[in-house]
Chain A
Amino acid sequence: GAVVSQHPSWVICKSGTSVKIECRSLDFQATTMFWYRQFPKQSLMLMATSNEGSKATYEQGVEKDKFLINHASLTLSTLTVTSAHPEDSSFYICSVRGPYEQYFGPGTRLTVT
């Protein structure tokens, strides 16, 4: 399967600042990537679908101006959490769509103080 990396693996930031999370597909050309958010002991909630070279598709209730997604190449998608607040603290996971399954990255734990 595809190898997907995320950077950073964890980040602590102050309220009001912005944080960028990178998702890289190391051995698979990914035209479609997904961004999920997972709160403790809860399910994976899809935030948005990132398509290479076009605008991301956001799920209902996800603020597109707050969670900026850029998918500039077939191997890289970025999620920027703008003006982060403590309620944005969560585990953010990206995935790459393969021929059948999704390949998940290791996740980024964001803590906003």
Chain B
Amino acid sequence: QQPVQSPQAVILREGEDAVINCSSSKALYSVHWYRQKHGEAPVFLMILLKGGEQKGHEKISASFNEKKQQSSLYLTASQLSYSGTYFCGTEMENSGGSNYKLTFGKGTLLTVNP
């Protein structure tokens, strides 16, 4: 089941903050965040695992509410290089081993202007 991302698009000025949300109707094991620039491959930003473990880049932060099956990505003091489309990918709680896969949301287009 495809996770729902919001907002669909956001425009910022350099230095401003943004929050991107991702929610699922199914119980999740992990949430992954990726950024994709036009015509390029997605780049890994962060993974949040059930139980509180997180791995990712220093300047990116995120949260994972296991009770609500929601995750939020926090972009602070945005830079021009933050522009791109942000995707969350969710791994269901009952997946694993040969059943492992990520289902990606529709994406959030972030534009950072000077």
Q: Are B40 and A43 in contact (CB under 8 A)?
A: no
Q: Are A43 and B41 in contact (CB under 8 A)?
A: no
Q: Are B47 and A104 in contact (CB under 8 A)?
A: no
Identify the closest chain B residue to A104 (Cβ).
B41
User: Which DSSP category, helix, strand, loop or mixed, fits chain A's interface?
Assistant: strand
B103 within 8 A of A: yes
Known: A43-B104, A101-B47. A107 touches B2 (CB 8 A): no
Interface size of A in residues (CB-CB distance below 8 Å): 22
Query: In the complex, what's the smallest C-beta–C-beta distance from B45 to chain A, in angstroms?
Result: 9
Identify the closest chain B residue to A100 (Cβ).
B47
Residues of A near any B CB (own CB < 8 A): 1, 32, 34, 42-46, 49, 51, 57, 93, 97, 100-107, 109
Told that A101-B55, A102-B102, A107-B39 touch, could you supply 6 new A-B pairs with CB distance under 8 A?
A: A43-B104, A43-B106, A44-B42, A93-B42, A97-B100, A102-B44
